[in-house]
Structure 1
Amino acid sequence: MARPPMRYLDPKNDLTFKKVFGQHPHLLRSFLNALLPLDEGQVIESLEYLPAELVPVVPLFKHTIVDVRCRDNHGRQFIVEMQMLWTDSFKSRVLFNASKAYVSQLGRGRQYEGLQPVYALSLVDQIFEPASSEFYHHYRFVHSTEPERRLEGLELIFVELPKFRPDNLLAKRMQVLWMRYLTEIRDQTEQIPPELLAQPELEEAVEYLRESAFTRDELAGYDRYWDSISSERTLLAAAIREGQAQGKAEGLAEGLARGKREGLLEQARRMKARGFDAAAISEITGLSDAEIQTL
């Protein structure tokens, strides 16, 4: 009697991502060394996990971000986020969190000279820069006319997963393998690319995705996560479509911009009517407190 095929789960899910990268520092180290824009001699040698950021639970859009935080042997901090739903305010949120992590180092009595860099790596499962063919976006403080001069401290990296192609010649070998791990293994995958299994770290990371290794309750939570993502995307898409429809008569360029804003305002009105606080509404829509108060 033939055995049923071995199936694997998607590594982008909250359950699987944290099982692989939130419980195995050697795998996270390999992943960060491959994905981060580290200069020669800046290789991460060891990691320790830090507590996840304590933020208020937002009933809506509460499952879009998977968060892992750690610090290496040099004191550098790394914030790794798997973002399933893109909004215009997400970059600001990432900058805020990275800045807070950077400033919080002074709370341990250090002088300014002892501050260590903070890297925020955001893996986004949507295309948010349609005008660019690049999947990898690196932001840092540089001189406006002499980019080789820069201020150390914050490094923000955004990766558009849907844009990645394995034949990208600019990507490093391990970067390609880890990106393939994230983009080619999906829910109920049965065949794993042999190139992944040939690399020890990737082979181990693949093993943690075996469906048979999870309990029934864990699999139920895995499915609930995907259901919540689908609901959130549907809600946001409906708000944008509604706003765009209202703006069609006002000219294409101006109408799209105003339409999107009207959609966000209408979404904020509904959230306010349902009892959401101003901070939660602002986080989701990008509207200011003043704008929300006038609704």
Structure 2
Amino acid sequence: MRYLDPKADLTFKKVFGEHPDLVISLLNALLPLDGPEEKIVQVEYLPAELVPETPLKKNSIVDVRCRDERGRIFIVEMQILWSSAFMQRVLFNASKAYVRQLEGGKKYELLQPVYSLSLVNDIFLPDLKEYYHDYRIVQVEHTNKVIEGLRFIFVELPKFTPQNFSQKKMHVLWLRYLTEINEKTRQIPQELLDSPEINKAVLQIEESAYSDAQLWGYDEFWDAVRVEKTLVSDAERKGMEKGMAKGIEKGIAQGMEKGIAQGQSNERKETARRMKNDGIPPETIAKYTQLSIEEIEKL
């Protein structure tokens, strides 16, 4: 039996974007919900794309967006590589979801909280040993004074280890699911299979559950990740060399932004060209490369 990595875009959205019971379990396990009365019971999925009110405003796409029976909104994102812009994007997405609740003439007091859960397969706070980061809007002088409405959870997956978490069973099991299973896995640990929710999630990432076209897109996703990692490393090296004269930090930022943008554009076009040559429909190509139909037809 071959398993796919649950952190990939295709698999993550299949597991948590098509099975309400699984996303409920994940959210209840990883969000800081106070007491049993705060637990999520039911959810309805919302469109993952937050369409702008005017064409000039920026679209934002998240992996999973849903609302529970109390009206609370939950946004879940899986981020493979960290970038300085990701945290701003998370803030943008959550703020947009919060403001959108006022459509239809609702009163401010009816606004429900928005929770953003970001699972990051990278380390972005190397000076901290903790893997779990809880952000709220607080008063600087008295951090127990909170403005409710927005809450942001970031999980640095590479820092997670399963020791000493016996009191948070599902918290640990879901993070083990995300960090221990990949293409090299041939046998799932029994303690994961013993959980009905994790067992079901494992079934969703069996290779046999996907079509050839989906598997092709899955492989292309990881190829793009490897290319981006290489570009980041090259950009950091070039930025550091340039920074000897103008400042290391500024050089890294400029080198990364330019290198990653150009590399991603070239990689997407090359991927689309190969898919087109293989006879894959333009709509499918557009889904996996984020190129427009017009761009694909010109290749």
Q: Same fold (TM over 0.5)?
A: yes
Partner of 1:281: none
CA RMSD of aligned residues (A): 2.3
2:253 alignment partner, one of 244, 261, 274: 261
35, 40, 45: which one aligns with 2:41 = 45
Matched position secondary structure for 2:151: strand
Q: Answer whether contact 1:9 1:187 (CA < 8 A) is retained.
A: yes
Q: Quickly say closer, same or farther: Cα 1:269–1:8, change in 2 above 3 A.
A: closer
1:94-243 superposed matches below 5 A: 94-169=90-165, 172-243=168-239
- Relative to structure 1, the CA distance from residue 266 to residue 13 in structure 2 (aligned partners, 3 Å threshold; closer, same or farther) is closer
Q: Mark the CA change 1:66 to 1:218 in structure 2 (over 3 Å): closer, same or farther.
A: farther
Inter-CA distance 222–66: structure 2 relative to 1 (3 Å threshold): farther
The residue aligned with 1:3 is none
Q: Report how far residue 262 of structure 1 moved.
A: 3.9
Describe the superposition over 1:187-245 as per-residue Cα deviations: whole angstroms up to 9, x where unpaired: 13111011111111111111111112222222111111111111122222222211111
The 5-angstrom pairing of residues 254-293 of structure 1 reads 255-264=247-256, 266-267=258-259
Change (3 A) 1:269 1:34: closer
Q: What secondary structure does 1:159 align onto?
A: strand
Greater length-normalized contact order (CA 8 Å, ≥ 6 residues apart): 1
Q: CA deviation at 1:93?
A: 1.0
- After TM superposition, give the deviation of residue 55 of structure 1 in Å: 6.7
Equivalent residue pairs, number: 256
Per the alignment, residue 22 of structure 1 pairs with 17
8 Å CA contact 1:14, 1:66 repeated in 2: no
Secondary structure of residue in 1 paired with 2:63: strand
Residues 1:85 and 1:221: Cα distance change in structure 2 (over 3 Å) = same
Return the offset for 1:19: 1.0
TM score, norm. by length of structure 2: 0.80
Separation of aligned partners in 2, 1:100 and 1:211: 36
Change over 3 Å in CA distance of 1:210–1:262 after alignment to 2: closer
Per the TM alignment, residue 36 of structure 1 is displaced from its structure 2 partner at its CA by 0.6
CA deviations 1:149-180 (Å, max 9, x no partner) are 21110001111010000014387111000000
1:58-69 alignment, distance < 5 Å: 67-69=63-65
TM-score, scaled relative to structure 1: 0.81
Residues 72-91 of structure 1 aligned to structure 2 (within 5 Å): 72-91=68-87
Gaps of 5+ in 1: 1-5, 57-64, 275-295
Q: Percent identity?
A: 57
